């Protein structure tokens, strides 16, 4: 995930200035203006927060193959109704497309963005740049960072885009070969699953779609730490990854 960084040159800070800075609660990350940090700057100060768009701007127009997404709020409760503290809330990976760029050029062909405004999408976990606009969190990301379209509230209905493959993960082994029962923490993460849906394929050098060699219903072996993991409403585990991360088809 891209982040806004503010760096400062090393200066000497008096104990009095440091105490004053600690006591102040007026600094709001993402709203620091040029010249705000003068005599009380720290060595290698890094602030990671969303870029804040000033109220005088009324719209954001993404360029090229980028899209502007209004992100969903983080889940505040578990499926069982337990209230989660902010540190335990999972970061959302979905949102609504608000605006799209004009597309990109591949060779001599102009390629428009296939994702329409208003579409509900799922995107890669660490993709894009966070932007706060009209007090609402948004994300500017490339079309290729969009994993797929989701028209329902259940991840099992995901429609992958480009060269993405959507897989239902096989159940982890409950016991060892010797019959010992495994706990959740000791179960090995499986890297085998059944293909639920595939994208239309990636674009070649002429801008033409190249269909994937993987079909729905296939049992595949994939890279262990690739892709984005999801939990379905039925408790099943799913993963969305690129076709290049699929190592073999099992039969």
pLDDT in tens, the chain (251 residues): 444 343 344 444 444 444 444 444 333 334 444 444 444 443 433 334 567 877 788 889 999 999 999 998 765 444 555 554 444 335 568 999 999 999 999 888 889 999 999 999 999 988 899 999 988 999 999 999 999 999 998 999 999 999 999 999 998 655 445 555 545 554 556 689 999 999 999 988 888 899 999 999 999 999 988 899 999 988 999 999 999 999 999 99
The confidence score (pLDDT) of residue 179 equals 55
**How far is C-alpha 213 from the geometric centre of its chain's CA atoms?**
26
Pairing, β 66-71 against β 94-100: antiparallel
* CA–CA gap between residue 176 and residue 238 (Å, rounded): 23
Phi, then psi, of 83 in degrees rounded to 5: -75, 130
As a whole number of angstroms, the distance between CA 26 and CA 106 comes to 48
Residue-level pLDDT at 100? 97
Q: Which residue has the tokens 């239309």?
A: 200
Q: What integer pLDDT is reported at residue 52 of this predicted model?
A: 81
DSSP state of 37: S
Structural domains for the chain: 59-75+90-150 (2.30.33.40), 160-250 (2.30.33.40)
Q: Rounded to whole angstroms, how far apart are CA atoms 163 and 140?
A: 21
Residue 125 pLDDT: 86
What pLDDT score was predicted for residue 12?
A: 46
What is residue 180's predicted lDDT score, i.e. its pLDDT?
55
Q: What is the pLDDT of residue 151?
A: 93
> For residues 153-190, b (16+ Cβ closer than 10 Å) or e, as one string?
eebbebbbbbbbbbbbbeeeeeeeeeeeeeeeeeeeeb
Please tell me the distance from the alpha carbon of residue 137 to that of residue 69, in angstroms, as a whole number: 9
What pLDDT, on a 0 to 100 scale, did the predictor assign at position 69? 96
pTM over 0.85: no
Question: E strands within the chain?
Answer: 51-52, 66-71, 94-100, 104-106, 109-111, 120-123, 129-133, 136-142, 146-149, 159-160, 164-169, 192-198, 202-203, 209-210, 219-222, 228-231, 237-242, 246-250
**Whole-angstrom distance, CA of residue 144 vs CA of residue 124:** 9
């Amino acid at each position: 995930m891209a982040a806004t960084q503010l760096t400062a040159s090393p200066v000497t800070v008096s104990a009095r200035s440091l105490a004053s800075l600690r006591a102040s609660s007026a600094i709001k990350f993402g709203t620091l203006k040029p010249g705000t940090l003068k005599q009380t700057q720290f060595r290698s100060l890094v602030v990671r927060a969303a870029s804040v768009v000033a109220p005088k701007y009324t719209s954001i127009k993404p360029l090229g193959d980028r899209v502007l997404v209004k992100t969903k709020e983080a889940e505040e409760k578990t499926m069982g109704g337990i209230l989660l503290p902010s540190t335990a809330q999972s970061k959302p990976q979905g949102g609504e497309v608000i605006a799209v760029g004009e597309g990109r050029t591949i060779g001599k062909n102009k390629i428009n963005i296939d994702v329409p405004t208003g579409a509900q999408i799922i995107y890669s976990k660490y993709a894009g740049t966070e932007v706060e606009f009209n007090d609402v969190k948004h994300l500017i990301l490339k079309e290729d960072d969009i994993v797929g379209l989701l028209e329902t509230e259940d991840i099992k209905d995901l429609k992958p885009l480009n060269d993405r493959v959507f897989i239902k993960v096989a159940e982890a082994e409950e016991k060892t070969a010797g019959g010992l029962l495994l706990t959740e923490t000791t179960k090995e993460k499986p890297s085998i699953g059944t293909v639920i849906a595939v994208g239309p394929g990636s674009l070649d050098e002429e801008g033409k779609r190249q269909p994937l060699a993987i079909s729905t219903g296939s049992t595949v072996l994939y890279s262990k730490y690739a892709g984005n993991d999801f939990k379905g409403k039925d408790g099943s585990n799913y993963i969305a990854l690129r076709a290049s991360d699929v190592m073999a088809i099992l039969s």
